[in-house]
Amino acid sequence: MAPNDRSPARRDNRSSSRRGGGGNPGRGGVTVAREAHGRERTLIEHDRLPLAFACALDGLARHRAAGEPLDKVVAAIARERHLGPRERRATADLAFSWARHAIAVEKILQTAQKQEGGVAPRRRQLDLAAICLAGVAAGVEVDSRAVAGLPAFLIALVEDSAAAGVPLPVSLPPWLKKSLEARFSPEVIAALTRPARPDLAVDRRVMSVTDAAAALVAAGTTAVASPRCQTAIRITDGGLSLRKLSTGLRRAVWPMDEGSQLVADAVGAAPGDRVLDLCAGGGGKSRLLASTGAVVIAADIDAGRLHHSTPAGVTAIVADGTNSPFRPGSFDRVLVDAPCSGTGTLRRAPDLAMRLDERELPELAARQKALLTAALELVRPGGRVVYATCSLLDVENDAVVNAVVNARTDVNRVGESRYLLPPDSDGFFIAVLERRA
């Protein structure tokens, strides 16, 4: 059966035994097979598995087999299966709930299997139970048809968890949990592990923030202008379909976390300034910088990404930020949104915590220092460099800035470095430096 076929394939009991499905038929007397990506092909017994659960299951299998980020896997499955906005959100909610509680859920399942004994359920059945348990803990709606496809002892486990309403701890590796607890309050850490609301950025060359917010409200979205960021709109009802917006509104707004917009705002770009976005990535900050009337150069080492994401009015140049082709002192402002661990973005990529390796941090910090040093050479005397990360780890933030500043005699800090923190935004670090004349 093709992976994107929504219709379950039916097998008789004899065929199920040969394929490893085993067990008794489901409540409707039908054993259903769904094909996972990769080598794993197992059976789930149920009447009909809801589409979002089937997609989330395939996402977990692909994520585990290939090690790809879960958000990219979910997005790819949504494209392959042509999911609508509601199905796409439901699939993401289920997959990300699992990622937030994976460690705790696996321990619960292991305990339940030991108590039950006998032949262990298939991996795909365990994944379905894990999704259901994590969904219950996260307050995500869990379809009873999905629960019905589980073995009896797992059905009882999910139903008992739902009845008890006991919250599950969020999955953070011990080293990361210790690092976060040493600097941030329990409230910040808790907010970091909850889903993020959608924010929008507004290109004020196309439409004012006030007009964009009013147009969103007229389109049925609860939207308000941000009180702390002059380009941001907060979506307060949690739902937004950009495809349903008018053409003019789609030209003016795009999804972008408020904290990320505040990083661009910290550059202080003015009309006519020559501004370099040294690690441009997806181009959102370059677009905001260009909307001020500045002359913006977007540089990034990833040619494909740069080609597909460079906004109008911005010049794109493929370059390694540590060895760029630009003349020293040729920019008024330089933004270094440095590659980092991404620990401030766990609200949007909860599986990231379990993919991080503490041993990789020194290598990241060395590259960050090289990028910041290069940026200080490219800015003119009297110009400013903004160093930012979406990390909450000191080794990538103040430690990097201090090491670079202390090695030079021509750099001043402008104010204190600061963190932007959830629940107001994703986690960001910002430091502003000035090259002395």
Kindly state the helix (H) or strand (E) to which residue 179 belongs, with its residue range: helix 174-183
d(CA 63, CA 294): 41
HEC secondary structure over 50-70? CHHHHHHHHHHHHHHHHCCCH
Structure tokens that stand for 416 in this block = 């204190």
For the sheet containing 31-33, what is the strand order? 9-11, 31-33, 43-44
d(CA 133, CA 156): 11
Question: How far lies 293's CA from each of 271, 274, 299, in Å?
Answer: 4, 10, 18
Which residue in 293, 375, 284 sits closest to 335, CA to CA? Answer: 375
Task: Give the residue numbers marked as catalytic.
Answer: 390
Q: Report yes or no: 262 and 420 within 8 Å, Cβ to Cβ.
A: yes
Locate tokens 């299997």: which residue?
113
d(CA 197, CA 346): 13
